[in-house]
Each structure stands twice: as structure tokens, then as C-alpha cells.
Structure 1
Amino acid sequence: MTHDTHGDKLTLLNPPGLHPTSGYAHVTIAPAGRTAHLAGLCPLDADEHVVGPGLDAQIDQVVANGLAVLAAAGARPEDVVRSVVYVVSDQSGVLAAAWERLTASALGPAFRTAGTLLGVAALGYGGQLVEVDLTAALEG
């Protein structure tokens, strides 16, 4: 079993017999304490407009929004214990490219823990191509 501890907060596990991952953990264990459950991070600017054009620009806005809300909660990307990424596509190459851009970003450490990547038909805003849900462990 691969076991990795990040600071005093998280234990990441990859049990034997399960498929290898692309950098995330099958299991994330956070110590008892408080958590922050963030609303879906959408690619909206401060005026509630979907940014663009294209998936890359939207991912960059989601990253900026994610860093801002984590900071407001007193957390960092390294404190994220669970992520769910929604991408409007049924193409595995598009999903993989979105994952790679997210994991290479300043928000990247948030995606090393337990997570899910989903291709979906549509999201809540017209033209929206990506949304990210995060849960973070907080101090005390």
C-alpha cells in the first residue's frame, strides 16, 4: 500500500490491487476537525460573465477563483481532501487535457487527493465548459 502523509493533516493511500493513478490518491484521510465545502467553482469573472473563449481560459479562471475561496476559508490547495471536476465533453483527450492543465496550475496540489473527473453534457451557465468542487480540511 502506498502511504503518503502531507504535514499533520492528510494521509493519502493507494491500496494494493487497485489501478495506478495519475497523481491523485484513492483514499484521503483527514484528521478530525473542521472542513470547508466550497461551492462549485465556475469560470465566472467578478461581473458574473463566463470567461473565454475556450476551455483553457475557463480553467485559468476556475483556478483563480479556487485560490481566492480557499484563502478566504483559511486553506491552501494542499489542504484539499476531495475534488470533483466536471468538463463539458465526451472526448477522453479533452478530459485529459483539462486534468493536465488543472494539475499543472497553482491549484494543482488540490488534485493529488481523492478526486473524480467527469465528462458531462452541460453545466449551469451558457457556454460554461468546466466546474470544480473542492472540500478542504481546516486547522482546529
Structure 2
Amino acid sequence: TPKNPNKTPKIPLCPQERLRQLQEEQEKQRGQLEAELGRLQAALGEEQQLRELHEAEGRNLRQELKDVQDGQRILEKKGSAALKDLRRQLQLERRRGEKLQERLQELLVPSRARSGQGHPGTAGRGTPKSGGYRVTGLPAG
């Protein structure tokens, strides 16, 4: 009884037939390998495009971060300069106010000394020594 009833018994092939059969198998394998190579090259191309896209996105994000940091530094410097300027202006206004107050005192003290009495309506407001004379509501300038 044959071991394999469905298969025909193998007949030895002549060398040329065997060579042709091997060449066909080789061509078939070559075609499969070329197809696989094509798929792999396509996948590699897609991955390279993705990598380039991610690198460009990374560069853009780094530049955006740098721009934001530069902008913050500029705003901090402007804020610091504005604060310094406002402090300077405040100091100048304080000095100006002090000088106006001194001038007012100079004007009020001699008139009291000349008349021998205080201005009418100044009773209870203090004396120039106590610093009680303060004029408010004067126009600045």
C-alpha cells in the first residue's frame, strides 16, 4: 500500500527540468522579497516624513517658547522701568509739595508777626510751629 495515495509518486527530474523549477521558485521568492522591500521602503518613507514633521514641530515650539520668554523679559523690564519712573515722579512731587508747604509757611509766618495776631478764622487750627497750617486744594503748578 502506498503511503500517500493522493500524491503521484515523484519521478526524478532531469537536470534541465530541475534547474527550470529552481529558477521559477527563485523568481517567485524574489518577487515576494521585492514586494516586501517595497512595503518596507514605503513604511520607512512614511516614518521619515513623520520624523521630519515632529522635528519641525519641535523647532517651532522651541522658537515659540523662546519668543514668549523674550516677551516676558521685555515686559518685566518695561514694568520695572515704569515703576522706577513712577517712584522718581512721586519723589519729585513730594519735594515739590514740601517746598510749597515751606513757601506757604514763609508767607504765613511774617504776616502773623506783622499784625501781631493770627489770621481771622485761624483760631484752634494750630500755630506755624506745630505745623497746623496746611493748605489743601491749591492748584498744582
After TM superposition, is the score higher than 0.5? no
Greater strand share, structure number: 1
Which one has more relative contact order, counting CA pairs under 8 Å at least 6 apart? 1
TM-score in terms of structure 2 length: 0.17
Greater helix share, structure number: 2
